[in-house]
């Protein structure tokens, strides 16, 4: 099917798999339950859907061909239009940049389309080839949803483990070079959360759909996946707050470090300011300066400087002790 936008196609009712594009088009039109998965980036994808699936509702066709999508569920006649987001497992891409999977399902046909590889679709294709595929549209939807939600759950668990490791390092005083790691975690959580809430709502609406392909067993299984999505969404909210707290803690530690360094510089400046004035004053090479003709003048100057430093340290110590007593 190199000249066709169809990547995978199967007949799910026990009949032999289609021989080619023409056979799957016929299967999608008749009473057999057939599934076709299309490459949304193929130049012939739009034409194929509009011409070969002209019996579909125009709203479904537009939604299947839309480039920018968000998770949703719409009931169109006896069919269901379902758009979900799956973890991006494509090489060189970020997993939180979720892949859009658009589906149309009714009792006779299943059509899916994506613009990137979707691991759940590839897994479904492999299961059907091994004779372990679903036999009805409801089971197909449930198994695909379970795979997608399960992968999102694994991704969320990995983020949670990263957050805990970062938290241990930050509060353990190892936060010197972790600002970038915390920022990356925060950006990943923000990007993933963009789709989780609407995906949860789409699954909840799916459980409420009065469609022939949603029987009681299917409804209960989708309800379970909706609950999992709710938990994942709540955990992502907690991760977002945790990343924000880590960021604030890093900023606080950096601020404390700057304050400590500023304090040290202030103490050093306070000590050496009178010394600098004194040595500068006695460094004036003009007549009348005391000690110009004395061999012990330098020793006297050193002693005076030491006495000044000792007096300053004593005053600072007394002030610090007084400040501590006032705080008590």
pLDDT confidence bin for 131, thresholds 50/70/90:
confident
Q: Is the pLDDT of residue 278 over 90?
A: no
Check residue 174 and give its pLDDT.
65
Name the nearest CA neighbour of 88 among 151, 8, 153, 145.
151
pLDDT confidence bin for 265, thresholds 50/70/90:
confident
| Residue appearing with tokens 């569920």 | 73
Residue, of 95 and 170, whose pLDDT is higher: 95
- pLDDT at site 18: 67
Question: Which residue blocks in the chain are alpha helix, DSSP H?
Answer: 21-29, 45-52, 58-65, 119-129, 137-171, 179-207, 216-282, 297-327
Sign of CA dihedral 93, 144, 69, 8: positive
Of 325 and 201, the structure prediction assigns the larger pLDDT to 201
Sequence spans of domains, the chain: 6-252, 263-327
pLDDT digits over 183-219, tens only? 888 888 998 888 999 999 999 999 998 889 999 999 9
For 38, the enclosing helix (H) or strand (E) is: strand 34-39
Report whether pLDDT(135) > 80: yes
Q: What is the mean pLDDT of residues 114-128?
A: 93
CATH class of the region 6-252: alpha beta
Which pLDDT belongs to residue 121? 94
- The residue among 224 and 59 whose pLDDT is bigger is 224
Residue 230 has which token pair?
A: 């709710």
- The mean per-residue pLDDT over the stretch 254-260 comes to 81
What pLDDT is attached to residue 1? 47
Average pLDDT of the segment spanning 166-172: 80
Over the chain, what is the mean pLDDT? Answer: 86
The predicted pLDDT at position 4 comes to 83
Residue 67 has pLDDT above 60, yes or no: yes
Mean pLDDT throughout 253-268? Answer: 82
Residue 104 banded pLDDT, cuts 50, 70, 90? very high
Residue 227 pLDDT class (50, 70, 90 cuts): very high
Per-residue pLDDT at 60? 84
What strands lie across the sheet with 99-105, from one edge to the other? 6-11, 34-39, 109-114, 99-105, 79-86, 72-76
How much is the pLDDT for 287? 66
Lowest average pLDDT, out of 53-67, 135-149, 150-164, 233-247, goes to: 53-67
Predicted confidence (pLDDT) at residue 294 exceeds the cutoff of 60? yes
Say what the pLDDT of residue 46 is: 87
Q: Report the predicted TM-score, pTM, of the whole model to 2 decimal places.
A: 0.78
* DSSP structure class, residue 57: -
């Amino acid at each position: 099917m190199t000249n066709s936008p169809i990547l995978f196609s199967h007949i799910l009712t026990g009949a032999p798999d289609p021989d080619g594009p023409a056979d799957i088009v016929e299967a999608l039109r008749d009473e057999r339950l057939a599934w076709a998965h299309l490459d949304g980036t193929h130049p012939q994808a739009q034409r194929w859907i509009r011409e070969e699936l002209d019996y579909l509702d125009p709203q479904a066709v537009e939604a299947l061909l839309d480039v920018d999508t968000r998770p949703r569920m719409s009931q169109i006649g006896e069919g269901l239009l379902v758009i979900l987001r799956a973890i991006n497992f494509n090489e060189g891409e970020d997993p939180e940049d979720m892949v859009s999977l658009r589906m149309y399902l009714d009792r006779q046909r299943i059509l899916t389309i994506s613009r990137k590889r979707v691991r759940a679709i590839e897994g479904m294709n492999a299961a059907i080839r091994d004779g372990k595929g679903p036999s009805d549209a409801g089971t197909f939807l449930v198994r695909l949803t379970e795979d997608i939600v399960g992968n999102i759950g694994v991704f969320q668990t990995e983020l949670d483990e990263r957050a805990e490791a970062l938290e241990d390092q930050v509060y353990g005083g190892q936060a010197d070079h972790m600002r970038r790691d915390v920022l990356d975690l925060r950006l990943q959580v923000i990007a993933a959360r963009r789709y989780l809430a609407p995906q949860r709502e789409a699954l909840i609406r799916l459980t409420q759909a009065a469609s022939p392909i949603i029987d009681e067993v299917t409804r209960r299984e989708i309800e379970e996946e909706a609950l999992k999505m709710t938990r994942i969404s709540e955990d992502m909210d907690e991760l977002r707050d945790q990343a924000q707290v880590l960021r604030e803690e890093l900023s606080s530690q950096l601020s404390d470090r700057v304050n400590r360094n500023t304090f040290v510089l202030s103490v050093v400046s306070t000590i050496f300011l009178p010394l600098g004035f004194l040595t500068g004053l006695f460094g004036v090479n003009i007549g009348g300066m005391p000690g110009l003709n004395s061999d012990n003048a330098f020793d006297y100057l050193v002693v005076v400087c030491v006495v000044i430093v000792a007096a300053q340290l004593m005053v600072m110590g007394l002030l610090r002790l007084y400040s501590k007593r006032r705080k008590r």
